[in-house]
């Protein structure tokens, strides 16, 4: 099955719903990911250690960092999060969930015209504060909001 499917994938033409489909390995890796995965930060079990792991220490509250989350998540398996930074020279945004077993969810660096904005969907085990952290000119800023979770999203 897998072999057949792979053959089909390789011969699939662009222009279908799979426009631009490239079978894995058929394209040379254009970029080797520059940074090593930040194990210390992602493995941290509390927010303070995770913040330390990304070099943020104690970020300052900022009203220019906009965090959009639902007040209530019908299911913690998928919690939509939008972060927009209006802080000049923002170069990175991280998202954390205080009460998750590993609070750091994701971290993004922006360059070459990418606006400091990101949307993602996160798992939340329980009701918790969600934090956005932005880095601009070497300083860290934060905004947070609580999301109530009606059904946890990590158990199954």
In a 13 Å sphere around the CA of 51, the CA atoms on its Cβ side amount to: 19
**In a 3-state reduction of DSSP, which class is residue 4?**
helix
Q: Compute CA distances 145 → 25, 31, 36, 155, whole Å.
A: 41, 36, 30, 23
Please choose, out of 20-28, 58-66, 138-146, the segment that lies near other proteins by the rule CB under 8 A: 20-28
Please choose, out of 55-63, 97-105, 138-146, the segment that lies near other proteins by the rule CB under 8 A: 97-105
The contact mask relative to other proteins for 57-76 (x = CB under 8 A, - = no) is: -----------xxxxxxxx-
CB of 32 to other proteins, least distance (A): 10
Check residue 18 for interaction with other proteins (CB under 8 A): yes
Given a contact cutoff of 8 angstroms between Cβ atoms, the answer to whether 79 and 151 are in contact is no
**Best CA proximity match to 142, nearest among 63, 69, 71:** 63
Check residue 155 for interaction with other proteins (CB under 8 A): yes
CB of 146 to other proteins, least distance (A): 11
Applying CB under 8 A, among 33, 57, 60, 61 the residue interacting with other proteins is 33
Given a contact cutoff of 8 angstroms between Cβ atoms, the answer to whether 77 and 153 are in contact is yes
Comparison of 61 and 138: residue with beta carbon closer to other proteins:
138
């Amino acid at each position: 099955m897998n072999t057949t499917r792979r053959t089909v994938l390789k011969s699939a033409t662009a222009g279908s719903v799979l426009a631009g489909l490239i079978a894995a390995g058929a394209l040379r890796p254009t970029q080797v990911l520059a940074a090593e995965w930040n194990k210390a930060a992602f493995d941290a079990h509390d927010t303070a250690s995770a913040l330390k792991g990304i070099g943020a220490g104690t970020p300052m509250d900022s009203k220019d960092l906009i965090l959009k989350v639902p007040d209530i998540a019908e299911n913690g398996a998928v919690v939509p999060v939008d972060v927009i930074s209006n802080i000049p020279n923002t170069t990175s945004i991280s998202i954390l969930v205080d009460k998750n077993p590993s609070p750091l969810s994701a971290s993004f660096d922006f360059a070459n015209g990418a606006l400091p904005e990101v949307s993602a969907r996160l798992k939340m085990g329980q009701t918790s504060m969600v934090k956005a952290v932005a880095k601009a000119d070497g300083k860290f800023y934060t905004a947070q909001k609580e999301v109530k979770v009606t059904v946890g999203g990590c158990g199954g």
